[in-house]
Structure 1
Amino acid sequence: MDGAVLPRCSVFLLLSALGRRNASRFVFTRQQRRFNSSSICCCSEKGNGPSLVVVGGGAAGVYASVRAKEVAPHLNVLVIEKGKLLSKVRISGGGRCNLTNGNYLEKQGLAGNYPRGNKELQGSYFNIHGPQDTMNWFSSHGVDLKQKAVEITLPKVKAKLKLDNICKTLPEYTQMGAMLVTHWGLTGPVVLRLSAWGARDLFFSEYKGNLYVDLVPDVHIEDVKDSLVQHRHHLANQKLYSSFPAEFGLVKRFWRYLLDREGLDGDQLWASLSNKSVNSIGLLLKQCSFRIAGKGQFKDEFVTAGGVPLSEISLRTMESRIQPKLFFAGEVLNIDGITGGFNFQNAWTGGYIAGTCIGELASSYNKVEAAGSWL
C-alpha cells in the first residue's frame, strides 16, 4: 500500500541490499516515517504490543515474517518493499521458482558453494535450517515441489580464469561444468561460477583478462590427437566441416568455429589434413583461449557481492552485535552463492533463524511488558 506509516517498532529486520556496510550507522527514532512502497501488514487484534518492521520483501524478508508470526501470533508485522514482493523468487529458474539445491540434503559441503561466507557458514548455520528443512516447510504449507536433476546435457568443460593486473591464482579460478556459447559471448554454469568466485578481482581488473577452456577435460592431449588421426583414417573422404570425433561432445557450429580459428578450409577432406594441423587442433581443444572484454551485454547480475560483515552478526540469531534488536538476513549480508539455488537457501536459512529469534523475543514481551523493558 502507498504511504505506509511505520509503527513505533520493537524489532527491525533489514534485508535490502541497499543498506550501508557499517551497521553502527543505522539510526532509528520513534517518529513516524512515510514510505512509498508495496507493503504487507499483520497486526494483533488490540493493535498494540511488540512490532516487527521488515525492510525488503524478498525471500528472506517474507520467510522471516511468516516464521516470526508462527512463533508469536500476537506480533505486529510490517513488510516494506519498493517493488513487488518476492519478485526474484517468481522469476528464478526461468519462472519455475528454484527454491534450493537438492544435492546437499545432508548439508555436508553446502557452505563451499558460497564465495563470500563459505568459512563462516561451515558451523551450525545450515544445521538449523537446511535444504531438506526448506523443502519440508514448503510441502507442509501446501506447495508441491519437484526435484529436477542438476546435470545439464551440454559438453563438460574445464575453464580457468586469468585476469589483467591481478597476479593471484586461486583454486576457485578453475571450474568444471557446462558452458554455453551464444552470439554475444560465453555463459552457462561454469562461467557463472567463475564470475562468482572472481567477482571482486573481476571488478578491479575492469572485467579484462583471458579465459582458458579445456573442451575435453576427461581426455588426455595424446588421446585427443589419436582420435583425430583415427578419424582421418576412417573418414578420409569426408569434409572437415561435416564430421568430427563423437567423443569430443561438440556441436557442429562450434567445431566449424574451431576450424575457422585454425585457418583451415572446412571443405577440404580429412585425408588432406596434415599432422601439424592435427596437433594444432588437439592443442586448441585442450586449451582454447578467449579474451574477456567485459560483462554480458544484458548486465544480468543476479546477486550482490558484499554487504554487512558477518563479524558484526551473530549467525545463531542473525542479530547485530552492534545494535540490539536489529536483525539482518539475505542479500544485505556479505554472503553470496553460486548459481543453483544456493542464494535462496541462504535467504531461507537466515530468514528462518531471524524469524525464530524475533518471535521468541516477542513472546517474552508479555512477561516483561509491565516493567517496560522491551522498548
Structure 2
Amino acid sequence: MSFTLARFVLLHSRVCSEAATTTKNNGGLISTLKKRKFTSTAIPRAQNKTSEELLVVVGGGAAGVYGAIRAKTLAPNLNVVVIEKGKPLSKVKISGGGRCNVTNGHCVDNKMLAENYPRGHKELRGAFFNVHGPVDTMSWFSEHGVRLKIEDDGRVFPVSNSSSTIIDCLMSESTHLGVSLQTGKAVITASPTAGGKFLLGIEKRTFSSPEYVEADYLLIASGNSKQGYSLASQLGHSIVDPVPSLFTFKIEDPRLADLSGITFPKVKATLKIENARRNIPQLTQVGPVLVTHWGFSGPAILRLSAWGACVLSSSGYKGTLIVDFTPDVHIEDLKSILTQHKNRFAKQKLSNSYPSEFGLVKRFWIYILGRQGLLGDTLWASISKNSLISLAHMLKHCNFYVTGKSQYKDEFVTAGGVPLSEISMNMMESKIQSHLFFAGEVLNVDGITGGFNFQNAWSGGYIAGTSIGKRAVGA
C-alpha cells in the first residue's frame, strides 16, 4: 500500500487548518503444550464498517509487528501500515546473543510471571497474560512453522538457534496478510482531528518537509525511542523519565581485571544504595555471576540492575555490592572447613591448596588471599585462627564498590515511559484519547532478563491488535 492512497492527506493548507482547530523443548515439548490459539477466524465481511479505515503502527519492533499482524488477521479489510525509521525487528535480531530469547517457558502462573517485571508487576497481575501469555506465544510461533525449545533456565529459543527464524516468520506472515511495512520514515507529529482521527506528520530521510496522513487508529510501539515519548506527549500523555535497566556494574577494583572470564554458577548478591528512600526486597538476588574486565555481569547482576534501576539512577549509579560466594554453606561450616583444611595440609602453601568444597578457581582464591593481606607463599600451618575467621567472612560478605554502569552488549532496556495508569490494560487503549493504543517498551514496563521483555511485547501487541481489529469490523 502506498502513501498515495486517498486516505493520505497531502494538502498542506488542510493540515494547517486541521492543526489550528485541534492540537517444544528441542522441537518436541512445544507441540504438547495446551494451546490457546492466536485466533485467525475471519469476521464476516458483511459486518465490516468500512474497507477504507487505516491503522498506522509507529515502530517495526516485536510489539508493533505482532500487533499489526493481529489487527490485520481480525480485520482483513483494514489498511495496516507499519512505519519504522530503521531496520524492522532489529532488537529481535540481536537478542539472546543472536538466538532470540522469545519468552520464558517456566513462568506459566500469571502472578509469578508478573513478579519478573520491576515496573509493571502490579498491573500485569490482572488479565494481561490471561489474554496472551507465554504458552500462547509459543503456540503461535509453533503453529506458524517455528520449532522452539525450552532451556533449563526457562528461556525459550528457536531450535535453529537463530533470531532470523523468528524474523522470517513475522515478516512472512505480515506479507501474507497484506501488512505494509515502510522503512526509512518516522512519525514526528500527531494530533487528533475534529472527526476523531489522527493527523500524522511523517518525515522521510530523503525529503526535508514531512507528508501528512489521516489515520483512524494509531498504535505506538516504538520501544525506548524518543519518538514514541514525543508522540504520546503530543496526544496528552505524561512520561515517566526513562532510565536504563538491565546493565552490568563497573567496580572500583583494578585487581578484578586479572579475574576476567571467571564464572560463579551461584552466588548471593545484595546491592546497598546510600540514601535510598525505600527498601527494595528484590535488591538481593541469587544466581550466576561473571567477572568482566570492568566489573560484574551475569543474570544475578542484571536482575539487580533492573530492580534497582530507578534508585541507582538517582544515586549516580553508585553503591555497594555485597557478594556471598558460598551461599549454600553456613558461616560456621565455612570456618570448620577452613580449620580442617589447615590441619590436613599444614605444610602446603596457601596458594596451592584450598578447600574444594568452595568450588573456587585458583585465580580467585589468590585474589581473596590478597584482599586479606595474606601471601600465597605462606604455609597453612602459619595461619592464625583469626585469619581463618576473616577468610570465612570475606567469602560470605565480600564488598565491592559500584562506580557506574555498563550497557549489556547491544540489548538496551529502558525503565520509564507512558504510565500504565493512563492505559486501559484490557485493551491497551489510551484513557485520554480514543483509538490510540500502546504496546511494548514505550510503556513504563520492563522485565528482567530471561525472555520477559519480549513477552511484554507479544502480549501488549496482541491485545492492542485485537482491540483495533474488533473495532474495525464493528464487533
TM class, shorter-length: 0.7 to 0.9
Aligned to 1:150: 153
Q: How many residues are treated as equivalent by the alignment?
A: 330
Aligned to 1:123: 126
1:1-375 map, 5 Å: 8=7, 49-150=52-153, 154-296=264-406, 302-364=412-474
Change (3 A) 1:300 1:279: farther
Aligned to 2:196: none
Aligned to 2:197: none
1:214-271 CA distance string (max 9 Å, x none) = 1112211111111111111222333222232222222222222111111111122222
Contact 2:94 2:410 in 1 (8 A): no
In 2: Cα distance, 1:343 partner to 1:6 partner: 36
RMSD: 2.4
- Is 184-193 or 296-305 further displaced after alignment? 296-305
1:132-164 CA distance string (max 9 Å, x none) = 110000000111112111189843111111113
Deviation at 1:283, TM superposition (A): 0.5
In 2: Cα distance, 1:163 partner to 1:327 partner: 37
Higher strand share: 2
TM-score scaled by structure 1? 0.82
1:147-204 CA distance string (max 9 Å, x none) = 1111898431111111133253321111111111111101111111111111111011
Contact 2:94 2:411 in 1 (8 A): no
- Percent identity, please: 63
Contact 1:155 1:250 in 2 (8 A): no
Gaps of 5+ in 2: 9-17, 21-49, 156-262
In 2: Cα distance, 1:158 partner to 1:65 partner: 42
Change (3 A) 1:30 1:72: farther
Deviation at 1:302, TM superposition (A): 2.1
Contact 2:106 2:154 in 1 (8 A): no
- Is 318-327 or 230-239 further displaced after alignment? 230-239
In 2: Cα distance, 1:115 partner to 1:298 partner: 18
SS at match of 2:417: coil
TM-score scaled by structure 2? 0.66
Contact 2:67 2:462 in 1 (8 A): yes
- Is 111-120 or 169-178 further displaced after alignment? 169-178
Contact 1:184 1:297 in 2 (8 A): no
SS at match of 1:54: strand
